[in-house]
């Protein structure tokens, strides 16, 4: 039976540590991995736009010696003619060994997994989850901060619709000494089920603020997010909220010298380009790491390793 990745909690903390170790080994010795996925094919089924996730998945599979196929726009697939996700995946799982899928509807990757003969990876479903972004974030934190425990993590911007925030909170809630600082306008607060299940019920310390300036000095990590225009019902509301937070060099002067700035990207206006030259800005390094953790994940779900070939 295939193993899927729909939610970051589908992976144990130990498995995440193993993926990070594999990604580090790939970064150090990429030549060892050049043929691990020879004759294997990844399908990328993207019903929503993407740059980083789709291309890093494709780059990951190509660097493992495998092949890629798929679509980057649902309008060029038979979804445009009304084909269901279930039927699409039932067909594509006969053409590929593993599927990465992004869809605007929450739960679509779960439906896909129920109709697939091969592993399905959730590459983002609506405002729900984005587990491979979280793996990317965790690899970045390990590289930049050296640990997961004892960090004060500020999440800023669209905490309501930002699926990367939801998955990251779920993941970090499993480590010791984590404190969350939730920074958003009232209208874009973290959904209550995420706050209740992963912060309150676990007894994790947290605070909420509408002001980035007031709390930035407390943070070890500032995780900025884009206001998710595509999830708003009302364009006027989006226009009113879109520039709620703009990180500038002036605000960075209020932060700790070793605070890091993360962002899943794409950025619109929420981080001024002048911040890019600050060594604490690590969002471009973060996007780079995404390829290597996805290489590790593809190998894991296919049961392959550089040392042993097929492991299952």
Asked if 129 is an active-site residue, the reply is: no
- Which 246-305 residues touch ligand CP, going by CB under 6 A? 264-266
Helices of type H across 31-84 = 52-63
Choose, from 52, 179, 263, 291, the residue flagged as catalytic: 52
Choose, from 40, 102, 142, 163, the residue flagged as catalytic: 102
Q: Which residues lie across from 129 on neighbouring strands? A: 125
175 and 149 Cβ atoms separated by less than 8 Å? yes
Choose, from 53, 88, 164, 225, the residue flagged as catalytic: 53
Which C-beta is closer to ligand CP: that of 198 or that of 283? 283
Binding region for ligand CP (CB under 6 A) out of 46-54, 75-83, 138-146, 153-161:
46-54
Asked if 197 is an active-site residue, the reply is: no
Instruction: Write down the least CB distance from residue 121 to ligand CP, Å.
Output: 13
Asked if 52 is an active-site residue, the reply is: yes
Among 12, 51, 78, 248, binds ligand CP (CB under 6 A): 51
Which C-beta is closer to ligand CP: that of 179 or that of 245? 245
Q: Rounded CA gap, 65 and 14, in Å?
A: 27
Asked if 164 is an active-site residue, the reply is: no
Which C-beta is closer to ligand CP: that of 152 or that of 286? 286
Instruction: Write down the least CB distance from residue 41 to ligand CP, Å.
Output: 21
Among 7, 50, 122, 134, binds ligand CP (CB under 6 A): 50
Q: Which residues lie across from 152 on neighbouring strands? A: 179
Asked if 240 is an active-site residue, the reply is: no
74 binds ligand CP (CB under 6 A): no
Q: Rounded CA gap, 202 and 33, in Å?
A: 39
Q: Rounded CA gap, 289 and 286, in Å?
A: 5
Strands in 98-103's sheet, in edge-to-edge order, are 67-71, 41-46, 98-103, 120-125
- Which 155-174 residues touch ligand CP, going by CB under 6 A? none
Q: What is the Cα Rg of the chain in Å?
A: 19
Q: Which pairing describes strands 120-125 and 98-103: parallel, antiparallel, or unpaired?
A: parallel
Which C-beta is closer to ligand CP: that of 154 or that of 162? 162
Which C-beta is closer to ligand CP: that of 88 or that of 122? 122
Q: What does the CA dihedral 254, 257, 258, 260 come to, rounded to 10 degrees?
A: 40
Centre a 10 Å sphere on the Cβ of residue 83 and count the other Cβ atoms it contains: 13
Which of these, 280, 290, 17, 38, lies nearest to 154 by C-alpha position?
A: 280
Q: Rounded CA gap, 205 and 283, in Å?
A: 26
Choose, from 40, 130, 291, 294, the residue flagged as catalytic: 130
- Which 126-155 residues touch ligand CP, going by CB under 6 A? 133
Binding positions for ligand CP, rule: CB under 6 A: 50-53, 124, 133, 264-266
Please identify every residue annotated as catalytic.
Answer: 52-53, 81, 102, 130
């Amino acid at each position: 039976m295939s193993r899927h990745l729909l939610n970051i909690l589908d992976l144990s903390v130990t498995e995440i540590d193993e993926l990070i170790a594999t990604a580090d080994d790939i970064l150090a010795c990429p030549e060892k991995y050049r043929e691990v996925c020879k004759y294997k094919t990844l399908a990328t089924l993207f019903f929503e736009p993407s740059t980083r996730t789709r291309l890093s998945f494709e780059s990951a599979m190509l660097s493992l010696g495998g092949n890629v196929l798929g679509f980057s726009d649902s309008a060029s697939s038979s979804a445009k003619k009304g084909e269901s996700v279930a039927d699409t995946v039932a067909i594509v799982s006969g053409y590929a060994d593993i599927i990465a899928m992004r869809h605007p509807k929450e739960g679509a990757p779960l439906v896909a997994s129920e109709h697939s003969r091969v592993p399905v990876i959730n590459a983002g479903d609506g405002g729900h989850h984005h587990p491979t972004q979280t793996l990317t974030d965790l690899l970045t934190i390990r590289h930049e901060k050296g640990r997961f425990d004892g960090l004060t993590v500020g999440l800023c911007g669209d905490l309501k619709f930002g699926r990367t925030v939801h998955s990251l909170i779920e993941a970090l809630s499993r480590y010791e000494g984590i404190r969350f600082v939730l920074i958003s306008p009232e209208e874009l607060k973290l959904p209550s089920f995420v706050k209740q299940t992963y912060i309150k019920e676990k007894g994790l310390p947290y605070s909420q603020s509408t002001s980035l300036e007031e709390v930035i000095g407390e943070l070890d990590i500032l995780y900025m997010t884009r206001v998710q225009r595509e999830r708003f019902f009302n364009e006027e509301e989006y226009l009113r909220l879109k520039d709620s937070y703009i990180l500038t060099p002036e605000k960075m002067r209020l932060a700790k010298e070793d605070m890091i700035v993360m962002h899943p990207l794409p950025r619109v206006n929420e981080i001024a380009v002048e911040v890019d030259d600050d060594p604490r800005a690590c969002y471009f390094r973060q996007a780079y790491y995404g390829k290597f953790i996805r290489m590790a994940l593809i190998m894991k779900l296919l049961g392959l390793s550089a040392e042993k070939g097929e492991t299952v």
